Amino acid sequence: MLQPSRKKDDPPAGATPVTSRAWLMLALATIGFAVNFWAWALLSPLGPRFKDVLELSSFQQSLLVAVPVVVGSLGRIPVGALTDRFGGRVMFPLVSAATIVPVLYLGLSGHSSLAGLLIGGFFLGIGGTAFAVGVPLVSAWFPPERRGLAIGVFGAGMGGTAISALTTVKLVDAGSTSTPFLITAAVLAAYAVAAALLLRDAPGRTVPTEPLARRLAATAKLGITWQASALYAVTFGGYVAFSVYLPTYLKTGYGLTQADAANRMAGFVLLAVAMRPIGGWLSDRIGPVRVLAASLAVVVAGAVAQSFTPALAPVGTLAFLAMAAALGAGSGATFALVALLTPANKVGSVTGMVGAAGGLGGFLPPLLMGSLYGAYESYAIGLALLAVVAAVALGYTVTGVRIAVHGGNRDSRTPRSGHGRGHRTAGTTA
């Protein structure tokens, strides 16, 4: 008997269909990630203003910006483990509501002193932990052959930092220092209510029963935890470092105005954000190892080219845009790898540790770039070091990570070819 022909856009034979509710959960999680990241990044655009008003030193200004980043990065470890236990339906509204408190404090009174800013910034780091809530929530709603795209789309919520960069200073100029904080708090409150009413965990979610400390210790023993952490420290860490330091680099190295440098940084951020879901989608098609290898190769080439400080038009601009696209795609591919190799009941814990590595990976490079420029009046060494680190990560990807993927019965070819469909866990990886 003849079988009816399959339309071009039909899912492949054997693929699990994705429900409309899964897409709704993905949309809600992405919005929540963006809103929390918007709050998390509120202090950075106002750093120069606080430096002038409060007469801060350069170190104090750097500390002010760094505190939410460090707390938000390290906080992902326990929050990811708690998400495994209680689910995203509980944790997303909780994290969003908790972030309202430091946002209001900073907007109403905390911005008047360095001590107040540091205290508020410490608790503002809670917003940065939302990433560790969304990945396990989204991953559980989508079948393995669609998780790369889904988590990549969710990861585009990191564009919340761009919202902060583009609006915070303008809102202060149009109103007062409190204005952006009050608006963000209102948006957080609206999202927390919507998430509590609409967000749901996937049916059949595996709930771990072990104590938190034991689960974190077990997570630390998984090979995928350290493999993905190393790669994410380079890909997402590179994105964070450039998004923080690029305006200073362009102003100092090329003499651009602050406004022009900030606009170019926004372009870098938006391209990286747009490429993150594309990196996840490509990982579903051809495998995360290939996407990571290609992304890291582009970063190596871009960093080498930029280390010679070429003219900004066109070589410098092309180098930075290429690195933005590669870092975004590489970030998406890293979490496609996490979704592929991590046991279902440990996705939150692994996400927390990997997310922490990514955030911390973006903390050191700006400090290093500033120190090197102060010593040599050149950024060449810093960019050369980026090329070396990316080259090492590339070598590790095509050797150790590739072997781990094959060892878990997951090769780098598309699931549509019939490979990589098994459900082996990351416990078999090295």
Same topology between domain 20-201 and domain 220-409 = yes
d(CA 5, CA 30): 36
Which class is domain 220-409? mainly alpha
- Can you give the pLDDT at residue 415? 40
Domain ranges of the chain: 20-201, 220-409
- Can you give the pLDDT at residue 408? 53
- Can you give the pLDDT at residue 185? 96
- Can you give the pLDDT at residue 255? 86
- Can you give the pLDDT at residue 419? 37
Digit-coded pLDDT (tens) for 372-422: 887 888 889 989 999 999 999 999 999 988 887 776 544 333 343 333 333
Q: What angle do CA 57, 180, 160 make, to 5 degrees?
A: 90
Where the chain has pLDDT below 70, the residues are: 1-16, 58, 258, 407-430
- Can you give the pLDDT at residue 36? 95
Which class is domain 20-201? mainly alpha
Digit-coded pLDDT (tens) for 356-370: 888 888 877 877 887
- Can you give the pLDDT at residue 4? 46
Q: Which of these, 401, 430, 428, lies nearest to 330 by C-alpha position?
A: 401
- Can you give the pLDDT at residue 30? 95
Digit-coded pLDDT (tens) for 36-84: 999 998 888 887 788 888 887 767 777 787 788 888 888 988 898 899 8
- Can you give the pLDDT at residue 163? 87
